[in-house]
Chain A
């Protein structure tokens, strides 16, 4: 084998390695970002969804599920990357006592591997607790 072939091989391997690194970098970084985004947005949305009118009547902290879903989507969209497609699934909203369970999965619109897209799924379960 000529020495030049070794050079080509090395270049090809380098390109491949770079692609893999970029792919995983995209995936992992997105996951980190998604996790904290989901957590922060969930907390904010739950607090925004606290039904003040109900609290005035009863003194009980409750959330409105529609309001929670709206706020979550709006807040998440405000911080989401335009380069990805997110699938937000809100599985459980207990209005009183306040509890939510949801998942957000994202797919990169930029990188794919052999035509397959990796779903990065973050689930979060949270509650609102009142103090004594």
Chain B
């Protein structure tokens, strides 16, 4: 595209004032400048300062020319201009050029027409001023506006613009008095002359300051003088004269303003008269209508050197792209997307689309993660998830040739995740953006969570075949998922892996099963004259979603209990036989005490309804107006299927529909009206309504803590209140077995047993979810810690086979020698190089205060248990062991039979050994079948009061 529209227009703006018979000096300023696609417009003012040439034969109007010349001096454009209108308002100029009149209307008395000579259509009284500076020397003020058209067709880059004033000859402007004019081109107000002149009487004493003007501009200040009505100098008594110096004050920097590249200051101009010792009084007042003025300043021309007018070069990142004919081809955004990396300068002021700046890694790093995600998306397919519903950022397809992702983004110096760890795939909750790693592979997909967020349904394994590196702790930490086989790698499950189960079922996402919300039943059993239809709808409103269940903290250890709570909303809709009614007319109970009135009303309706319920539905009885609306055509009442417990709901002042707890069909309304002026009391009324159909909503929670499930896989559920379990069953928990293998298990919750109405005989589909179990207790043989085999390369303790914990003999002074990593259950007690409870006392240790040195000092304390095991005792114990079949379990512990839980706190109670207590049972002294040891004095035991019953950090 030809850069025609972006040429540099170097315009030499010159003011030439010339005429063959006029000597002129021109001052000017360009106050505004417009350059559009094809038009150049100049606004400004000029002051021509010239001498009369002595030719008094006639007057001529000045001639002004605005011309644009090329480098060869050829005039290529001439500006159009016209005279300004009479208002002098530049904004509304109809003409492009206005000229001041050469003469003040009163400068030469009675010679107004002279201005007209020059500018026939100009109203002199409004603004045109002329100053005769001296003989043959005067100023000419102009405001101009020149317009050059068709600029876009000019072929060259540089032109010179000039304004030429050809002074006209004025034979009538000659005067002996210098007049000065005050102009203000800063404010550009139409009333500038109003502040630059004073009229009427002017009387001042010595040193008296007469305010002249505001808003004068600094520049080539001139001495002030004054005159009266165009007469000769005078008017100042006794040879007094005006001070040659003026005074002015700078207003302050806050008044600074910049215009046309120059800074203008505002001045307040004052002047006074003086005659040495007795001056200061104006000798002759100004005649009415006469004006005196002083010019304070004009702006010195800075246009005496060429000005460079550079046409703005369009920035495609900000303005888009245009054709030669000026038609926009691309918007700025389109250009940025089409030219990735080209519009990434944050200092240029345009909107940076960071997703187009992927190559600028430093820039992207500091931006929202969504840009990072996008930039790190290796494949080049369209971002197909663009939609309002999903609210993903709208990204544009990148050509593979545009970016070298491997080098710029993924590479060693790149900023993108390597997508080889599970964390790299995580959904970013802060930005509601799926990980770029998820989208890296087309075979992966995004799926919705219940809360509207995303998750990555990843099918592509990302683990490299470097599982042997899992021996390395650092590598393991960074690649836990791979090392743990979560992506189907060969590593397999590791004892070190924090996340055990891998087989989560995608079709069980902790949602209602497809039919869970369906109406369970109609035509209920056991109802012959009541409800025609009972429907129940079950909605699981609040529960832990699957993605949360998958988190490490929610994966339970085998043998422990599962906490899971589901909020259920159970909606029962009952449609009744018989007659319903709208709200009855209120019954006035008059001015009774509120409580009494209410009680009376309740009793009244209770009895009324009870009477009806206890009567044959065809038994006609007489009731008062309160329930007459229930009368059928045959004058019978029908409250079919209203059980006694459903009599009514008392609602004070407020109608509460579908109140589930009440479960009533008949609704009683109470209303209290404070009409003391009418009734002299608070009037109370009651009314009832019996709807034909009513919806009851029951909200409740299912909490596994409140259920005992003997084994999860059998799903035998019983209420804890009716089924106590043994101590080892572990309180009222929905618990797994210690032998439950690592894996994912699902559970299903259904509504049965007739639903909440007891009349429904269909078991609903229910709520299905999954929970993960990792067996830390017994490892089911999964982990074979053979030497040098992952993941037990650092731990050759073969005694750990099959169990998640192991015994180890230790030194009391160095329990974890040579930097050995403590087992997980001991890590929290390694504090400040102290192994609490071993080398130093712990918080609940009875061997001193926390951090006291402990070590082998325990051996100088009184033992907690001391037994003298002689032949007799050995013999007893052997009998004891034989009697209970060498069972070393917990049957002989106290509190074993039932839940050993404090009913208040829910905590486990202590369990003590019946073997050690030696109480009750059959002695083993002389009996082969026995369960009691006669310790005599061979056992000493420190009581629990002497030593804490449970030491350590039990929760």
Contacts and interface: CB of A to CB of B under 8 A. Distances in A.
Interface in A40-93: 42-44, 46-48, 50-62, 64-67, 69-71, 73-78, 80, 82-83, 85-93
B847 interface: yes
Given A126-B808, A127-B838, A131-B805, A88 B560 contact: no
Contact of B825 (A46, A54, A61, A75): A61
Nearest to B809: A126
B331 to A, nearest CB: 56
A86 B869 contact: yes
A94 B845 contact: yes
Interface class of chain A by DSSP: mixed
B866 A89 contact: yes
Interface string B810-826: 11100100000011111
B730 A125 contact: no
B363 interface: no
Contacts of A74: 877, 880-881, 888, 915
A130 to B, nearest CB: 4
A97 B868 contact: no
Contacts of A31: none
B76 to A, nearest CB: 86
Interface in A2-59: 39, 42-44, 46-48, 50-59
A90 to B, nearest CB: 4
B911 A66 contact: yes
Contact of B807 (A42, A62, A73, A80): A42
A129 B865 contact: no
B859 A131 contact: no
Contacts of A99: 810, 837-838
A55 B822 CA distance: 20
Contacts of A57: 560-561, 730-731, 733, 908
Contact of A67 (B495, B874, B911, B951): B911
B809 A124 contact: yes
Contact of B867 (A47, A53, A73, A94): A73
B953 A96 contact: yes
Contacts of B729: 53, 56
Contacts of B916: 66, 69-70, 73
Nearest to B880: A74
Nearest to A123: B859
Of B809, B856, B889, B892, most buried by chain A (CB within 10 Å of CB) is: B809
A46 B952 CA distance: 15
Interface residues of B, number: 81
B866 A53 contact: no
B955 interface: yes
Nearest to B812: A125
**Which residue of B809, B810, B881, B888 has the most chain A CB atoms within 10 A of its CB atom?**
B888
A87 B867 contact: yes
A82 B874 contact: yes
The residue among B731, B842, B908 with the most chain A CB atoms within 10 A of its own CB is: B908
Interface in B858-898: 858-859, 861, 863-871, 873-875, 877-878, 880-881, 886, 888-890, 892-893
Contact of A87 (B807, B829, B847, B869): B869
B738 interface: yes
B776 A53 contact: no
A54 B861 contact: no
Residue of A51, A93, A103 with highest tally of chain B CB at under 10 A: A51
A46 B916 CA distance: 16
Contacts of A102: 863
A56 B866 contact: no
A77 B878 contact: yes
Contact of B890 (A67, A92, A131): A67
Nearest to B557: A59
A22 B26 CA distance: 137
Contacts of B847: 92
A132 interface: yes
Nearest to B907: A57
Contacts of B878: 77-78
Interface in B884-936: 886, 888-890, 892-893, 900, 908, 911-913, 915-916
A128 interface: yes
A90 B864 contact: yes
Contacts of A73: 865, 867, 869, 877, 915-916
Contacts of A61: 805, 825
B728 interface: yes
B730 A87 contact: no
A95 B955 CA distance: 12
Nearest to A75: B888
Contacts of A82: 871, 874-875
A88 B874 CA distance: 12
Contacts of A75: 888
A56 B730 contact: yes
In this complex, the member of A47, A64, A124 whose beta carbon has the largest number of chain B beta carbons within 10 angstroms is: A64
A97 to B, nearest CB: 5
A76 to B, nearest CB: 7
A10 B289 CA distance: 165
Given A67-B890, A78-B881, A95 B954 contact: yes
B497 to A, nearest CB: 8
B874 to A, nearest CB: 5
B449 interface: no
A74 to B, nearest CB: 6
A129 B806 contact: yes
B176 to A, nearest CB: 111
A125 B560 contact: no
Contact of A94 (B498, B731, B890, B952): B952
Interface string B793-804: 000000010011
B559 A55 contact: yes
B829 A131 contact: no
B726 to A, nearest CB: 9
Nearest to B736: A56
A5 B861 CA distance: 55
Given A56-B731, A74-B915, A91 B809 contact: no
Contacts of A103: 859
A69 B869 contact: no
21 contacts: A53-B731, A53-B911, A55-B559, A60-B955, A62-B952, A62-B954, A66-B912, A74-B880, A74-B888, A76-B869, A80-B874, A88-B869, A90-B863, A90-B865, A91-B864, A94-B837, A99-B837, A126-B808, A126-B809, A131-B495, A131-B776
Interface of B: 495-496, 498, 556-557, 559-561, 727-731, 733, 735, 738, 776-777, 800, 803-812, 815, 822-826, 829, 837-838, 842, 845, 847, 856, 858-859, 861, 863-871, 873-875, 877-878, 880-881, 886, 888-890, 892-893, 900, 908, 911-913, 915-916, 941, 950-955
Given A89-B863, A97-B826, A131-B495, 4 more contacts: A56-B560, A67-B893, A74-B881, A127-B807
